[in-house]
């Protein structure tokens, strides 16, 4: 008991320094992992880019790799001193920005949420002879309002629509980001929801973990609200997004569609720095219900 108390005190005293060490990474939109300790120190080497708060800042991958190694080393050294008593008192994991996950979390690699509807995006790129299609299944039971917004933007004929928007940022073998409706269609600085006045809104929850490639998630504004912008992850392990970005759908391998092979190809296109925007436009030229 005495040992646990000492460990708890030592852990609590060291924890703020871990947080200070990790803070520069968070300023670039790099996100924590699942553990309460890692949440104060672990970071991702990717440039995300997935939040409007990132403002398109590019981060050198090799530099981040070195900093990630140092951070991980610090965490490994810290873990033995931190008692389980430091863990949060309830079953909610809180992030710095107010977002959270709970014990209601869903791991789609084990149990994929029910697909309540399907939509498609038709993609045109410079060397495509004709548009190629991405089919997406939406999790309407788990994420009703977020799905309603996305689905309306895929089907609108006389309002905001994804037609004419682009995949404005791609990160090789990590994600592709698109759906910026409005004046910043090619930069991703802003978006428009399908709701009244195109106003941003809060996502339903953050319960779906980012453990499966092809997951579709909403891009965040600095205050945590969402609009039309989204990203598709290309790898299974995207723990940096858990509790911060709301997943609400997944790319489907439907007959006659490009599936994840197409998503991966887009993620590997040549880009212009520092925005990581494709050198040739990747346009959404059609969308709707399947």
**Is 283 strand, coil or helix?**
strand
Flag whether 86 is in a domain.
Answer: yes
Query: Are 191 and 178 within 8 A, CB to CB?
Result: no
Query: Are 269 and 176 within 8 A, CB to CB?
Result: no
Residue showing tokens 């309830």: 90
Query: Are 50 and 29 within 8 A, CB to CB?
Result: yes
Range of the domain at 75: 2-91
Count of structural domains, the chain? 2
**One domain, residues 230 and 124:** yes
Flag whether 99 is in a domain.
Answer: no
Task: Please state, in angstroms and rounded to a whole number, the distance separating the CA atoms of residues 225 and 205.
Answer: 11
How high is the pLDDT of residue 98? 52
**One domain, residues 129 and 255:** yes
Flag whether 96 is in a domain.
Answer: no
Task: Please state, in angstroms and rounded to a whole number, the distance separating the CA atoms of residues 263 and 251.
Answer: 9
Task: Please state, in angstroms and rounded to a whole number, the distance separating the CA atoms of residues 148 and 164.
Answer: 20
pLDDT in tens, the chain (290 residues): 444 444 444 444 444 444 444 443 333 333 333 333 333 333 344 434 444 334 333 334 444 444 444 445 544 444 343 333 323 333 445 555 555 555 689 999 999 999 999 999 999 998 788 999 999 999 999 999 999 999 999 999 888 999 999 999 999 989 999 999 987 767 788 899 999 999 999 999 999 999 999 999 999 999 999 999 999 999 999 999 999 999 999 999 999 999 999 999 999 999 998 889 999 999 999 999 99
Q: Which long-range contacts (CB under 8 A, 24 or more apart) does 257-265 make?
A: 257/120, 257/132, 257/133, 257/134, 257/135, 258/123, 258/132, 258/133, 258/134, 259/134, 259/135, 260/213, 260/214, 260/234, 262/123, 262/132, 262/134, 263/134, 263/176, 263/214, 263/232, 263/234, 264/173, 264/234
What are the CA-CA distances from residue 277 to residues 151, 189, 266 (Å)? 25, 13, 11
**One domain, residues 86 and 183:** no
**One domain, residues 198 and 152:** yes
Task: Please state, in angstroms and rounded to a whole number, the distance separating the CA atoms of residues 248 and 217.
Answer: 6
For the whole model, what pTM was predicted? Answer: 0.69
Flag whether 100 is in a domain.
Answer: no
**One domain, residues 171 and 222:** yes
How high is the pLDDT of residue 175? 97
**One domain, residues 69 and 199:** no
Flag whether 19 is in a domain.
Answer: yes
The pairing of strands 132-138 and 117-124 is antiparallel
**One domain, residues 140 and 83:** no
Flag whether 177 is in a domain.
Answer: yes
Give yes or no for a cis peptide into 274 (omega within 30° of 0): yes
**One domain, residues 122 and 72:** no
**One domain, residues 150 and 226:** yes
**One domain, residues 271 and 155:** yes
Which CATH number belongs to the domain containing residue 207 in this structure? 2.40.100.10
Flag whether 76 is in a domain.
Answer: yes
**One domain, residues 137 and 268:** yes
**One domain, residues 78 and 147:** no
What are the CA-CA distances from residue 140 to residues 87, 204, 245 (Å)? 32, 10, 17
Flag whether 108 is in a domain.
Answer: no
């Amino acid at each position: 008991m005495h040992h646990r108390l000492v460990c708890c005190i030592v852990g609590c005293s060291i924890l703020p320094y871990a947080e200070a060490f990790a803070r520069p990474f968070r300023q670039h939109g790099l996100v924590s992992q699942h553990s309460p300790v890692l949440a104060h120190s672990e970071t991702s080497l990717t440039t995300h880019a997935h939040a409007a708060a990132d403002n398109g800042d590019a981060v050198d991958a090799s530099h981040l790799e070195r900093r990630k190694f140092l951070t991980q080393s610090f965490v490994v050294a810290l873990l033995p001193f931190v008692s389980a008593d430091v863990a949060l008192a309830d079953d909610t994991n809180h992030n710095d920005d107010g977002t959270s996950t709970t014990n209601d979390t869903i791991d789609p690699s084990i149990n994929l949420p029910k697909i309540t509807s399907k939509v498609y995006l038709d993609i045109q790129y410079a060397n495509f002879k004709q548009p190629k299609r991405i089919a997406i299944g939406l999790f309407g039971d788990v994420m009703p309002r977020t799905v309603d917004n996305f689905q309306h933007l895929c089907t609108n004929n006389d309002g905001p629509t994804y037609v004419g928007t682009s995949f404005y940022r791609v990160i090789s073998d990590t994600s592709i980001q698109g759906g910026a409706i409005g004046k910043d269609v090619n930069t991703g600085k802003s978006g428009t929801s399908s709701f009244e006045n195109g106003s941003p809104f809060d996502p339903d929850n953050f319960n779906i973990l980012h453990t499966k490639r092809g997951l579709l998630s909403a891009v965040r504004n600095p205050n945590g609200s969402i609009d039309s912008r989204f990203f598709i992850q290309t790898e299974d392990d995207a723990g940096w997004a858990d509790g911060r970005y709301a997943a609400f759908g997944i790319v489907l391998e439907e007959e006659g569609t490009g599936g994840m092979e197409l998503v991966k190809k887009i993620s590997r296109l040549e880009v212009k720095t520092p925005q990581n925007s494709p050198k040739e436009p990747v346009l959404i030229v059609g969308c709707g219900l399947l």
